[in-house]
Amino acid sequence: MSMKNLKDELLKDYDMSLNYNGVNGERLAERLDQISRIGLTTDFGSSRLGLSDGEKQAKALVKNWMLEAGLEVVEDGAGNVFGKLAGTLDYQTIMSGSHVDSVPNGGHFDGPLGVLSALEVVEAWKDTNVKPSKSFEVAIFTDEEGARFNGGFTGSGAVTGQLDYDSQFKRTDGDGKTFEQVLEEYGSNAVHFKQAKRDFSDVELFVEVHIEQGKRLEKANLPVGIVSGIAGPSWMELNFYGEAGHAGNTPMDDRKDALVAASEFIYKVEALPGKVSPTAVATVGKLQVKPNGVNVIPGQVTLYVDIRDIHEETRDQLIQLVSDTANEIAIKHKLKVTIDEMLRIKPVPIKKELHLKLEETFKTNNVEPLYVPSGAGHDAMIVGNLVPAAMIFVRSKNGISHNPKEWSSLNDCVRGVHVLKGFVESLMEK
């Protein structure tokens, strides 16, 4: 993104007719702009790492808006912020939100759009004198991206009690600071962090608005889409062990080249997802070669496979296929391979009745319902392990994300707010 003023750029082609039922596009643009100024990079991107001063400032800004909107605001020991609007009846709570941290030099929509969309629903009710029957809670989760500590979902994991505290407190950032040190600098401590877990029995549903970070909506020329399911990732570390040797003196028929075997494996991985599911994906994005010399036959290759699908059964089938393929290739090349699974998170299915409600809301807002799988992880994936969850995607220009060029038009963003508002209101009609 090359502009210096996000608000002006957003309003350039904004359709003012989208300002109805209390939803105000100018207000949304102004707030996206104000958050974008915190941690603004020389490339006009965002840099607000988890538990940084930038993330804290962005939360403070939104907390002020929450208070002005009449919300009761609390912040827990993990830095999660919740702004609650009490319902007129003694019903359960509908929660919506996202995060305001970013990757280094990221974009301005990933995270903040979900937080501000939820807050805009509250503002719209306030401006039209609507009192919701059920309580509505706007959430800002800490450190969703995990860029600082190579983790992610820190806040949502803490508040839902799904975090491995031992692993979390062993993490250090790029400056060598421990997680506990950073937590204390932020204004919390280990005791308060562990006390962040809350009871979700009063939460009926969590719904998150998020940019798509892909091209499906753009290709279909649709402003928003219904997330069909949230993929659960699995990360695998594979080590192919061969035999290092002199590149000149070792005949081709007497080699145990770990990189040749690893290369065959990488090539074959690409075809494996299609054997189990149309929504499955597998990626080898990182590898290390040892000894890594120009004139040395590679003796060991370490590589990592990222496997995802929105269906747990087919995701696990793909994990097995990847393992089987690695073992077959090792046997073929007379090498040894070790396989260690580093991560396995359950995919989050979205209930059929919620999909039907979303479809109705899309049609009411004159948008064709398109189902889009979420390959990326979101806070909704973590909260969705405790309560029913739903997601609404907003179109991403060229599918770009985690980049200063990340862009969603204000027209699309506001349509996302209208859909969120209509969906939440439909759930209050019980």
Q: Give the annotated binding-site residues for Zn(2+).
A: 99, 110, 145, 210, 402
Do residues 396 and 406 lie in contact, with contact meaning Cβ atoms separated by under 8 Å?
yes
Q: Angle at Cα 209 formed by Cα 208 and Cα 210, nearest 5°?
A: 110
Close Cβ partners of 345 (under 8 Å, ≥ 6 residues apart): 232, 233, 234, 377, 381
Q: Which residues are known binding-site members?
A: 99, 110, 145, 210, 402
Q: What are phi and psi of 25, to 5 degrees?
A: -65, -35
Could you tell me the two tokens for 15?
């359709």
Do residues 104 and 147 lie in contact, with contact meaning Cβ atoms separated by under 8 Å?
yes
State how far Cα 60 lies from the chain centre. 22
Q: How far is CA 228 from CA 95, 234, 257, in A?
A: 19, 19, 43
Q: Which residue in 294, 306, 288, 295 sits closest to 240, CA to CA? A: 288
Helices (H) then strands (E): counts for the chain:
14, 15
Do residues 105 and 45 lie in contact, with contact meaning Cβ atoms separated by under 8 Å?
yes
Q: How far is CA 367 from CA 25, 226, 397, in A?
A: 18, 11, 18
Do residues 115 and 79 lie in contact, with contact meaning Cβ atoms separated by under 8 Å?
no
